[in-house]
Amino acid sequence: MKKLLADWKGYLMSGISYMLPIVIGGSLVVAVTKILGLCFGITSFDGYKTGFWAYVNIVTNVGWTAIGLLNLVLAGYIAYAIGDKPALAAGFVGGSIASSTQTGFIGALIAGFVAGYGARWCTHNIKVSEKYESIKPLVITPLITMFLVAIIMAVALATPLGLLNKALLSWIKGMVSGGTNTVVLALILGAMIGTDLGGPINKAAWAAGNVLLVEHIYTPAMITNVAIAGIPLGYAFATTLRKNRFSSELLDAGRSDWFMGFIGITEGAIPFTLVSPLKLIPLNMLAGAAGSATAILLGAQAKIPPVGGIYGFITVHNGWAYLIGLLVCALIIGVGAPLLVNFNESLSTEDELDDTDDIDITFE
């Protein structure tokens, strides 16, 4: 069992190592353009159809496109670590399905392992004559593994996770309309943001806040903004406070998280959380809940539609309370994460993956 867990961790770290440049590069592009806009008092580029800011908006969307590849790359290279190149196709497809069905990074993990082990099984158990051996990784393995991914990700998981998303959304709307204590609501929404970091539970909390904006109920959106920005900031704090507990790759990710926290992208916490999900997901939930509840307890209120990120305090009544909530959220993770987990492990895949099994595209 120990060996199996060690193998799984190795596959996971391989996926993370390929994913990090996507997340870091995309987030930095978005951050730079957002900061440029803020220098001129612009918080959204959506209304600009022509001129300089329209081009800035295009560049911003390129950054968001890169961040949107997170699940695809993670699933693809987890699959690659397990099943080598024949697993890549199904892994990429599974990661794409995870994004389109909003199953988040948890869905991407499942897809990567399904594709990887499916490809490994095909490699070791499907026998063809020597004449056709070269086409097995090009035709047979992708066919079987994509069927597996389609059945598990698009059929088995998409519907229940979608229903869960809708149920949570309805529940939160009911809480707000029923006049539930705002602190309790903050605890729940903040914890939900910290669960799957862009997955269905996170998105349900975020969607509830944003759906209610049209009804002129702004506080739930502000509550989620605290956790969305505070959680990646927490890992930025952690890599600053305890550098010796982090690998060089994760130190780079931590530097990126200053920007991701500044503009409010929870996905910045994913590379860290994946190192030890069973320990860090509860910590993320605790931090998100505590930070959001602190902001409410100190009197933060949203009387106009709130803006996300650190600079969102300018749209909040008692903005200082919003900032303190962010700080509480960030410090819980910044202090707690290095105590719970040693992140100082190499993410290099050079020793685990080699190119000796390159696909020979020869049909002779």
Residue 24 confidence (pLDDT) = 76
Residues 6+ apart with CB under 8 A from 102: 161, 162, 165, 199, 200, 203
Q: Say if CB 269 and CB 197 are below 8 A apart.
A: yes
In the structure encoding, which two tokens stand for residue 52, read together? 């300089």
Judged by DSSP in three states, 34 sits in: helix
In the block, which residue shows the tokens 């903050």?
186
Strand segments (E) across 94-204: none
Say how many C-beta atoms besides its own lie within 10 A of residue 157's C-beta: 20
Eight-state DSSP code of residue 307: P
Note the pLDDT of residue 45. Answer: 87
Helix axes 248-263, 219-241, angle to 10 degrees: 150
Global pTM value = 0.72
pLDDT given at position 20? 77
Residue entry with tokens 């909390």: 205
Q: How many residues does the chain have?
A: 364
CA 118 to centroid of chain Cα atoms:
25
pLDDT for 90-141, tens place per residue?
999 999 998 888 777 778 889 999 999 999 999 889 888 887 788 888 888 9
Mean pLDDT by groups of 10 residues along the chain of 364 residues: 79 83 81 83 84 92 87 93 92 90 80 94 87 83 92 84 67 63 90 86 77 73 93 96 91 90 89 92 96 94 84 89 96 96 65 45 42
Q: How many CB atoms lie within 10 A of CB 310?
A: 18
SS3 343: strand
* Per-residue pLDDT reduced to its tens digit, 131-141: 778 888 888 89
**In whole angstroms, what is the distance from residue 79 CA to residue 322 CA?**
41
Compute the C-alpha angle 353/355/357, nearest 5°: 105
* Alpha carbon distance 258, 219 (integer Å): 25
Question: Tell me, what's the pLDDT at 16?
Answer: 80
Give the per-residue pLDDT at 194.
93
